[in-house]
Amino acid sequence: MTDPVHIRHLEAEIASWPLWSEAGFRRCFVRLEQTPTRALGKSTQALSEDLLQWLRPRSRGTSLEVLRRLQDHVWFSTAEKSLDRPGHNASLEDYVGSFTSRLLTASGGKFFIRDGPLASVVPSAPRGSENIEDRIAAWRWLSLALPQDLLLASFCCVTETSSAPACDHVSLGAEHLDRFFCEDGIAQTHLHLGAALSFGVLWTHLMSRISTDEVQPGPLHCAAGTPFGGEQEFLGWLVTAGVARLCLASFLRQLQEPNFARYMPRLAGRTEEPREFLSVVSALLRGNAPVPFVSARSQLRRLAGPAPARLPASLPEIREADPLYKWKLGGRSLHLPHVTQPGCLPETLLLFEAMRWLRQVRMERQRVEATGGRWTSRGEDLFERVFWQYVRIRNRTYRHLVQEPGTAGLDWFSTHFRRIGSLRKGMEQALMSAALHLEGKGPAPLSSLEVRTSPPSSWAEVRTLVRDIARDVDAPPECNPERGLVLHFVKLAERPGGKGMSYADPRSAGHACRFGQYFSDRLREAQAIETALQRHPELLVILRGLDVCSLELAIPSWVFIPLFQRLRAHSEQVSQKLAHLGHVPPFRFTLHAGEDFRRLVEGLRRIHEPLMFHMLGPGDRLGHAVALGLDPGRWAATTPITRQPLEERLDDLVWELHLYREQCIPVDSSRIEAVRGEVANLSRQIYENPIPADVLIEAWKQRHSPGVLKRLGYPHMGALSRRRIVAAAAQPQDWLLWRYLTDYDVYHRGQRTTEVQATDGEVQVLRRMQYFLRKHVAQRGMTVEANPSSNLLIGDIPFEAHPIFALQPLAGMQAAEGGPVPVSLGDDDPITFASCLPDEFSYLYYQLVRQGIGAQDAMNWLDQVRKNGLRARFTLPNYSRMPERRSRRPRSGRAPV
């Protein structure tokens, strides 16, 4: 039986299909049609067939009959209310408005999720029984399918007042939840700067800069498929969207020509090449192939005029660079109304005015025909087609950036994340401003904002990056949080330009060892950080720590230990130099661990290694760490058989033997003998001889020792003579480590996979391992950074089954073995997961209420999470706010900072 969350996901996908699909784009689709006998119109039937083909591999076994009925419900449940002739027909603007009006309400210039019983939005729920928790869940899935600004513009269009939207986002917090959030503020502890912006901001910047030679989207091709068939096609359609956007806006703002079909030739006549201009629009209406990029770009440049010479440094500058904000055509200035409204982008207003114009023309036509008059066309059919084709390009780009549900795994996430960079080129200096607007848009004051990005390899670039974070960017006046920058080393699977060669492959010129080139690249970044701090110690006020992120399974922890120890020691020296300022603590550390794993024991091992070998210490944090809270029994039931590389399986078993030897977990005699037997077998397969377990344990430990690695010549091990090799690897464990690092045959054999089955005995051991690790983490005062939306999409973990409830139990729940582990909340990558920090709190709150948890217990639990974030933050309270704003938000019981 399909669960309700799955139904909501399918419903959102079906609802969004006419608005973003390439099938709809190729057909220039503008109307959903169904005959009185419930047969679909010709174009609607073709769109339906494409939808069912697309849904089939995503529906997890749902039958075609169920999918068809669900499709009919979503597409035609409110078609009778359409402004068109009676029957099951709906224009797209009325169609979108039908489901947004059931989900949303507006009050005081803000948008909220509607409360109270209404006709069910979710087919599986009884009519009239739906509450706000159900609608919040429905909105979560819909926001992953379509951008919020389109939904809000549609909602405003179908309301009685038809007033323009005053903001671009929905506030998910109920009134009592808003007051709860406002008490003491929240801390953002896990945010990647490169994704800390809304889609509306990204699209506005892209439309402003895509016509220039200097700023173009870079390589857009990706392994998962590029929209519209290829890089050049996608790029061509993006430029075509820019042309269509200006055509629509120009028509809506002029008064002389009320007919869009007659206006377009006149607009073309104002360009130097009218025929080429019209060919761009014609290609959009056909939807099969765009005009070549160079030709379309020249037309866009003539319409929009030259882009500002200076790249934007803040969100207001991105808005002001938008041609819709102030656009000159034929010597005349054209302004969209309300563009100075705070919090609302011109793009949102364009969407609203276009849909409102279509509805007004349709209502006027209905009145004329009802009185027997003859309707004179205003070119609304052409306008409608151009507008919805533009919207589909925009929505297809949104779907390209937002991670699709069901594509779990960090490799899929990395694919989505890499797509952002090619579309936001030129707005690097404005990212901090965008992050402040995005994270500070909720009801709660943002007390602390940490952002993460990869370090440059030049110390001067490190200095510039830190100063960009610290400078006073244009942000909401009420948003002045403590600021901090955490630099993260990015785990990469393959060497750049290495033709698919893995960093783990020891056949590397100049290094001749595993991860030698990767370590050298990261060492240059570490040296750049050191030099920047040495020359400018005051950077430590903003530069607060280090992280390791991205493909968790690609690079092992031991590679980073020398880098972390080196930078920890250097930051302590810099901290001492700043003693005259007061207490400026040295670096603090976090890393993504236990998030992505083939087997649960592998995730637990990757959490313990950085703790055991002093990468992380008291007061540091763990990113995600879902392996700490996953129920082993449930994991074993869903993953009974796994294929794992031989060397990873061997490391898991060696780690388990180490825990037995150190008496960290109870010893089971039957289990330990089975483990020893498998260790002997695996070592024989990898090293061609059985290796004693004690030697394997010591070699594993020495792999994590920077001193031993240095003695062996790491990372330039190819330059050592045979005599030095023999001297350095005098002990059996040293020689085994040497072979592990340098022997290609050992590496090659270790990459072979073995089938591993989850057994009842292993499940018991996993529970003991979790108990030991949770106790270890809690005793060190470490905090786990939880990112529920990220885990929903990357780990396929629904909110109600999230491991954070095992780490920090709700009131009345049994405390987890090992004691509760502090949990803080983050949103990770807002544009990729279509979320922000205030939304993450709200989604969790309503999910808890939906599960039957009392409102007070839910708020108490979230309050503890909020406090954990404030206590675990790396930012400094006395130095990292903007000076001119410090007096605006005094803290209770303390003088203004």
> Per-residue pLDDT tens for 567-601?
999 999 999 999 887 889 999 999 999 998 999 99
Task: Report whether 546 contacts 741 (CB < 8 A).
Answer: no
> Per-residue pLDDT tens for 529-556?
999 999 999 999 999 999 999 888 999 9
Tokens of 391: 């919207």
Task: Determine if the peptide bond prior to 715 is cis (ω within 30°).
Answer: yes
Q: Rounded to the nearest 10 degrees, what angle do helices 380-401 and 4-20 cross at?
A: 130
| Residue 592 β-bridge partners | 623
Q: What pLDDT does residue 223 have? A: 52
Residue type, 404: E
Q: How many CB atoms lie within 10 A of CB 60?
A: 11
Overall average pLDDT of the 649-656 stretch: 97
> Per-residue pLDDT tens for 824-880?
999 988 898 889 988 888 888 888 888 888 888 988 899 999 999 999 999 998 765
| pLDDT at residue 222 is higher than 60 | no
Q: What pLDDT does residue 4 have? A: 47
Cα separation, 334 vs 347, in Å, equals 15
Q: Cα–Cα–Cα angle for 222, 792, 598, nearest 5°?
A: 75
H helices then E strands: how many in the chain? 36, 17
> Per-residue pLDDT tens for 717-760?
877 666 666 666 678 898 899 999 999 999 999 999 999 999 99
Tokens of 393: 């390009």
Closest among 482, 456, 262 to 377, alpha carbons compared:
262
Cα separation, 95 vs 295, in Å, equals 35
Cα separation, 780 vs 758, in Å, equals 31
Q: In the 8-state DSSP scheme, what is residue 229?
A: G
Cα separation, 542 vs 879, in Å, equals 8
User: Which residues lie closer than 8 Å to 233 by C-beta, 6 or more apart?
Assistant: 226, 227, 289, 290
Task: Report whether 264 contacts 366 (CB < 8 A).
Answer: no
Kindly report the length of the chain. 897
Long-range contacts of 506-512 (CB under 8 A, 24+ apart): 506/741, 506/742, 506/743, 506/744, 506/747, 507/744, 508/718, 509/718, 510/716, 510/718, 511/715, 511/716, 511/717, 511/718, 512/716, 512/717, 512/718, 512/742
Checking phi first, is residue 221 left (phi over 0); if not, alpha (psi -120 to 50) or beta?
Answer: beta
Confidence band for 183, pLDDT divided at 50, 70 and 90: low
Q: How far is CA 309 from the centre of its chain?
A: 31
Confidence band for 7, pLDDT divided at 50, 70 and 90: confident
Cα separation, 492 vs 513, in Å, equals 16
Burial 349-364 (b: 16+ CB within 10 A, else e): bbbbbbbbbbbebbee
Q: Cα–Cα–Cα angle for 593, 794, 841, nearest 5°?
A: 85
Q: What pLDDT does residue 3 have? A: 47
How many CA within 13 A on the CB side of residue 24? 27
Task: Report whether 234 contacts 456 (CB < 8 A).
Answer: no
Q: What pLDDT does residue 642 have? A: 94
The torsion angles phi and psi of 245, rounded to 5 degrees, stand at -60, -45
Confidence band for 499, pLDDT divided at 50, 70 and 90: low
Overall average pLDDT of the 437-444 stretch: 78
| pLDDT at residue 763 is higher than 80 | yes
Q: What pLDDT does residue 681 have? A: 96
Average pLDDT, the chain: 85
Least confident of 513-517, 881-885, 888-892: 888-892
Burial 432-470 (b: 16+ CB within 10 A, else e): bbbbbbbbbbbbbbbbbbbbbbbbbeebeebbebbebbb
Count Cβ atoms within 10 A of the Cβ of residue 84 and give its class: 0-12 exposed, 13-18 middle, 19 or more buried.
middle
Q: What pLDDT does residue 180 have? A: 60
Tokens of 547: 């992280």
User: Which residues lie closer than 8 Å to 839 by C-beta, 6 or more apart?
Assistant: 172, 442, 789, 827
| pLDDT at residue 121 is higher than 90 | no
Cα separation, 316 vs 201, in Å, equals 10
Question: The whole model's pTM is what?
Answer: 0.89
User: Which residues lie closer than 8 Å to 105 by C-beta, 6 or more apart?
Assistant: 111, 112, 113, 114, 115
Closest among 827, 783, 807 to 621, alpha carbons compared:
783
Question: What's the distance, Cα to Cα, between the start and end of the chain in Å?
Answer: 56
> Per-residue pLDDT tens for 470-485?
887 776 666 788 999 9
Overall average pLDDT of the 178-201 stretch: 82
Overall average pLDDT of the 311-335 stretch: 70
Show the 3-state SS of 727-764.
HHCCCHHHHHHHHHHHCHHHHHHHCCEEEEECCHHHHH
Tokens of 205: 């910047």
| Residue 753 β-bridge partners | 645
Confidence band for 119, pLDDT divided at 50, 70 and 90: very low
| Host H or E run for residue 546 | strand 543-550
Tokens of 816: 């987890």
Closest among 591, 599, 602 to 640, alpha carbons compared:
599
Q: What pLDDT does residue 134 have? A: 83
> Per-residue pLDDT tens for 56-106?
888 877 888 889 999 998 998 754 444 444 446 789 999 999 889 888 988
| pLDDT at residue 690 is higher than 80 | yes
Tokens of 372: 């027997």
Least confident of 361-375, 528-542, 694-708: 361-375
Overall average pLDDT of the 412-441 stretch: 83
Q: In the 8-state DSSP scheme, what is residue 893?
A: T
User: Which residues lie closer than 8 Å to 15 by C-beta, 6 or more apart?
Assistant: 74, 75, 99, 142, 145, 146
Long-range contacts of 477-480 (CB under 8 A, 24+ apart): 477/885, 477/888, 478/440, 478/445, 478/888, 478/889, 479/436, 479/437, 479/440, 479/445, 479/446, 480/881, 480/882, 480/885, 480/886, 480/888, 480/889
Overall average pLDDT of the 425-444 stretch: 84
Please tell me whether residue 548 adopts helix, strand or coil conformation: strand
Tokens of 357: 């114009």
Radius of gyration of the chain (CA): 29
Confidence band for 323, pLDDT divided at 50, 70 and 90: confident
Beta-strand ranges (E) seen in 160-254 are 170-171, 186-188
> Per-residue pLDDT tens for 148-167?
999 999 999 888 666 888 88
Cα separation, 134 vs 128, in Å, equals 12
The torsion angles phi and psi of 220, rounded to 5 degrees, stand at -105, -5
Q: In the 8-state DSSP scheme, what is residue 404?
A: P
| pLDDT at residue 800 is higher than 80 | no
Compute CA distances 106 → 94, 102, 163, whole Å: 18, 12, 11
Closest among 537, 604, 606 to 576, alpha carbons compared:
537
